Structure 1
């Protein structure tokens, strides 16, 4: 009887999970199917979810409406530099805050954590004025340079990984003759690969889809990113929904590919980053 109850409970659990997955994936499915419909089909109730025939004209229209490859190149350049800065700087900061003993370490970490409580809109204008005085507005640099100083969320995630490294390993490496940099590169980094993969995916997803940053600083059409380019399909009186859905589908693909490649490390990183504080 208990075996039967467990079976029924497991079946109900999987049914609920599948239903929830469908609810969350349904908008994505609508976006993709709409991108293959004609404009008339998209607003015809009789058509249903799936198009009668696959129409690729919307994807051609994307390249005719915006310089897609240029916007994609701009987006990948900003994203790649942000990921590079995150991967280089964040592990060093996290290691310093978790494994190197120095005066004021905990205070600095508290201040870094506290900055996450400040909404971006509260510091947006002062930051903009700073970049104006530096003469960097109208370039990619305001979107790239901050990554090389570390983002609080990524520092916190990786610090949790570093705290999980036994101090005995680092002490053994020190006894074997490893200096501080060797202990960092040869011991700490290999043990935090899931954490580095996690912040890499986070950095890629956030930067690739960022809208407000490019809107503020990339104020020339030749500097636009894909997130800004999507607004080219909207005008004052109408929206070209089918072409917009095609552009959004292509916009989503790089993020989906990166997530699928690193999903194992991502899930492992999320599940273990908070185990030790």
Structure 2
């Protein structure tokens, strides 16, 4: 009798859990639905009460008008240019550093690794002014160099993730490659890099999101309007046409599309990489 009651509770528990998750998902999607709905409204009907979720007369021209009032095409090009160089820098540098920490044995390796991890505890606000002064002395202000060059010095968090992943890969693969005459770089490139695709996907997705949403960096280092990124461009759009929320939501809808696309196409490797990420020391 007890077993029957327990087995009867399991389907009920699953149904309740799924219902709760569905309700929570809809609650999280409400701002996104409101953004799309507002992007298709007129200025007069933006804040009408009760809210009209499906506009009776969709204003598709809002998207055209939003892009005519601000050079969002230029902002997108600038952002994707920075994205390209930063992603390449993060993947290459983090892979090399993680490979060194996971495969090479040298004196002070663990101490250096702990020092690298400790740098993540330093707030960004503490280093903001010294970093700006350094780049100013190098005459890099109003260029993309301060936004891209630091990516080639490895991110401690990404190095930690990739190192933990490398520790789960048997060293027998390295030994077999050495027997065939491969050097360290050949082992990394031909043997380990194909296996590291899930962890590299995590780095690419997280880096893309961080750079895409970065507002403070471009705001500090970029002065020329033609060099602005999407985050700064949207902020300027708010300051210049803040009362036209329908146009702002139209621009925001277009801006959020690349983020949705990269998560959609990378979700299999992203979820698999996070699930298989080891915690081996």
Interval containing the TM-score (normalised by the shorter chain): over 0.9
Confirm whether residue 156 of structure 1 aligns to residue 165 of structure 2: no
Alignment of 1:203-222 (within 5 A): 203-222=207-226
Structure 1 match to 2:227: 223
Structure 1 match to 2:48: 44
Question: TM-score of the superposition, structure 2-length normalised?
Answer: 0.94
Per the alignment, do residues 191 and 237 of structure 1 end up closer, same or farther by CA in structure 2, a change over 3 Å counting?
Answer: closer
User: Contact 1:90/1:155 (CA < 8 Å) preserved in 2?
Assistant: yes
User: Contact 1:233/1:239 (CA < 8 Å) preserved in 2?
Assistant: no
Q: Kindly state the Cα deviation for residue 235 of structure 1 after the two structures are TM-superposed.
A: 3.0
Structure 2 match to 1:241: 245
Confirm whether residue 169 of structure 1 aligns to residue 167 of structure 2: no
Q: Kindly state the Cα deviation for residue 172 of structure 1 after the two structures are TM-superposed.
A: 2.3
Confirm whether residue 26 of structure 1 aligns to residue 34 of structure 2: no
Q: Kindly state the Cα deviation for residue 24 of structure 1 after the two structures are TM-superposed.
A: 1.4
Per the alignment, do residues 5 and 85 of structure 1 end up closer, same or farther by CA in structure 2, a change over 3 Å counting?
Answer: same
User: Contact 2:46/2:246 (CA < 8 Å) preserved in 1?
Assistant: yes
1:56-114 Cα deviation digits (max 9, x unpaired): 12211211211111111101100111111112221111111111112222122111111
Moved more, 56-65 or 259-268: 56-65
Residue 258 of structure 1 aligns to a residue whose secondary structure is helix
Decide which of 65, 71, 94 is 1:90's aligned counterpart: 94
Decide which of 248, 257, 260 is 2:261's aligned counterpart: 257
Gaps of 5+ in 1: none
User: Contact 1:233/1:243 (CA < 8 Å) preserved in 2?
Assistant: no
1:218-275 Cα deviation digits (max 9, x unpaired): 1111110111111223238943211111111111111111111111111111222244
Per the alignment, do residues 190 and 250 of structure 1 end up closer, same or farther by CA in structure 2, a change over 3 Å counting?
Answer: same
User: Contact 1:87/1:196 (CA < 8 Å) preserved in 2?
Assistant: yes
Structure 2 match to 1:124: 128
Decide which of 198, 201, 218 is 1:197's aligned counterpart: 201
Moved more, 140-149 or 233-242: 233-242
User: Contact 2:72/2:230 (CA < 8 Å) preserved in 1?
Assistant: yes
Moved more, 48-57 or 106-115: 48-57
Confirm whether residue 66 of structure 1 aligns to residue 66 of structure 2: no
User: Contact 2:168/2:278 (CA < 8 Å) preserved in 1?
Assistant: no
Provide the aligned length of Structure 1 versus Structure 2: 277
Moved more, 47-56 or 65-74: 47-56
Structure 2 match to 1:76: 80
